[in-house]
């Protein structure tokens, strides 16, 4: 479709939202699931990427981000993923579904073991229902993930993001349910919990288990008293440094045990405290986890797109497919835009070549056949233009295609 010309992705992208209604920008929906495991109704917030303007492109399947403390971080994480994935070809990460899990009983769900109290961090009232972490992970695995997979266009790649107690849950999942997710983001996790019980279990797991195929990003906030640095904090024994000491100890284990093939990275944020660190840490985590995703082409390669460059792009997406564990085709919108770029310069051969790639990858796309029809029409091949417009209309009736078809048939 000619409208795809505005989507030439060399110079600009656009911020996409799930829907616009009643003069409101809507970025997701509130879903709900009854959990037999937890014995309660759970609301979930779900964001699904658009499949392109006016739905002209083929339906896609997307990796899924499961976000703990969803009511606190949903908007920022969705906005960040939209921004980092919006420019096909130069995207930092893929477009992804985001599933935010709001809290009902945060301490119950996000702590792996029960404690009576742990002053000054926890009092006996706060910790009364603690230790439900394993049931909560079971809820995610056996109820929430199947629910999401049954209703939304998911792909076989999952990420778990958590902060504070949520970060503790992330580490618990890495250690005891390693392959439930492909990638993990633990932001300033509360590794001090229960006298560092999970911290010790993590040390053992990192030393003995195989984590090949898994990624972990650890974000560390500056929660130290004024005048102290991380070197001093490591040897301090006061409660004031217990939180960061436990995380620094976790970091030392990640750096020491490299034989387990866990792809891991940590980053210390000296200018961010416990409350401000989630945003910047998530941003860095996406860059790290998807460090293979960005397609690096020179401006000359974009402008002088030829079959050799297309081959390079195809090899890039073969590598992306290998990393993600499922086939990722060249984005229809990107190839469509490049095809119209060639059509604008009357390079009919290259335009046809590009549009046929989309037909091969997306044989049920009306847009792909419509675009190829435009290519034939532009070079005066009326017969093939009509043939492709009719094929497009057989898949989906589109007013623009209908007008073009009727115009050619009258000639």
3-class DSSP state for residue 266?
Answer: strand
Alpha helices by DSSP H, listed for 177-306, are: 193-208, 230-235, 242-256, 277-289, 299-303
**Inter-CA distances, 258 with 109, 218, 268, 291, Å:** 31, 15, 20, 19
In this prediction, residue 17 carries a pLDDT of 42
Q: State the Cα torsion 229-230-232-233 to the nearest 10°.
A: 110
pLDDT at site 122? 59
Supply the pLDDT for residue 23: 83
Domains of the chain (ranges; CATH) run 15-289 (3.40.50.1820), 309-410 (1.25.40.10)
Cα–Cα distance for residue pair 92/81, rounded to 1 Å: 9
| Phi, psi angle pair for 163, to nearest 5° | -125, 140
What is the reported pLDDT for 1? 63
| pLDDT (0 to 100) of residue 124 | 56
Residue 284: per-residue pLDDT: 98
So what's the pLDDT on residue 24?
A: 85
| Parts of the chain with a pLDDT under 50 | 3-19
Question: What is the pLDDT, as a whole number, of residue 123?
Answer: 58
| Neighbouring-strand partners of residue 44 | 31
Beta bridge partners of 187: 163, 219
At residue 4, the pLDDT reads 42
| Reported pTM | 0.91
């Amino acid at each position: 479709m000619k409208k795809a010309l505005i989507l030439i992705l060399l110079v600009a992208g656009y911020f996409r939202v799930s829907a616009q209604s009643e003069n409101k920008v809507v970025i997701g929906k509130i879903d709900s699931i009854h959990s037999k495991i937890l014995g309660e109704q759970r609301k979930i917030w779900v964001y699904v990427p658009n499949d392109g303007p006016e739905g002209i492109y083929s339906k896609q399947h997307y990796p899924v981000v499961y976000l703990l403390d969803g009511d606190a971080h949903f908007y920022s994480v969705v906005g960040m993923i939209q921004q980092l994935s919006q420019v096909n070809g130069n995207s930092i990460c893929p477009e992804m579904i985001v599933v935010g899990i709001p809290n009902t009983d945060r301490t119950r769900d996000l702590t792996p073991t029960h404690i009576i109290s742990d002053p000054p961090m926890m009092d006996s009232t706060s910790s009364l229902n603690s230790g439900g972490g394993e049931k909560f992970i079971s809820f995610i695995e056996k109820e929430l993930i199947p629910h999401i997979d049954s209703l939304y266009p998911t792909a076989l790649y999952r990420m778990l993001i958590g902060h504070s107690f949520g970060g503790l849950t992330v580490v618990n999942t890495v250690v005891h349910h390693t392959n439930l997710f492909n990638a993990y983001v633990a932001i300033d996790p509360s590794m001090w919990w229960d006298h560092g019980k999970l911290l010790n279990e993590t040390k053992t797991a990192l030393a003995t288990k195989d984590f090949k195929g898994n990624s972990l990003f650890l974000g560390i906030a500056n929660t130290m008293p004024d005048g102290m640095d991380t070197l001093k904090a490591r040897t301090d024994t006061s409660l004031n440094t217990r939180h960061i000491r436990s995380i620094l100890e976790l970091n030392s284990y990640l750096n020491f045990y490299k034989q387990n093939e866990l792809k891991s990275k940590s980053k210390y944020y000296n200018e961010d405290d416990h409350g401000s660190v989630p945003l910047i840490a998530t941003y860095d985590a996406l860059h790290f986890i998807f460090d293979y995703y960005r397609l690096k082409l020179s401006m000359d390669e974009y402008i002088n797109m030829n079959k050799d460059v297309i081959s390079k792009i195809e090899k890039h997406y073969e590598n992306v497919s290998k990393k993600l564990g499922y086939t990722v085709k060249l984005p229809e919108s990107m190839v469509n835009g490049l095809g119209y770029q060639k059509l604008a310069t009357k390079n009919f051969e290259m335009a046809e070549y590009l549009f046929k790639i989309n037909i091969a990858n997306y044989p049920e796309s009306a847009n792909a056949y419509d675009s190829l029809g435009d290519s034939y029409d532009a070079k005066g091949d009326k017969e093939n233009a009509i043939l492709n417009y009719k094929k497009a209309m057989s898949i989906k009736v589109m007013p623009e295609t209908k007008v073009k078809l009727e115009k050619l048939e009258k000639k």
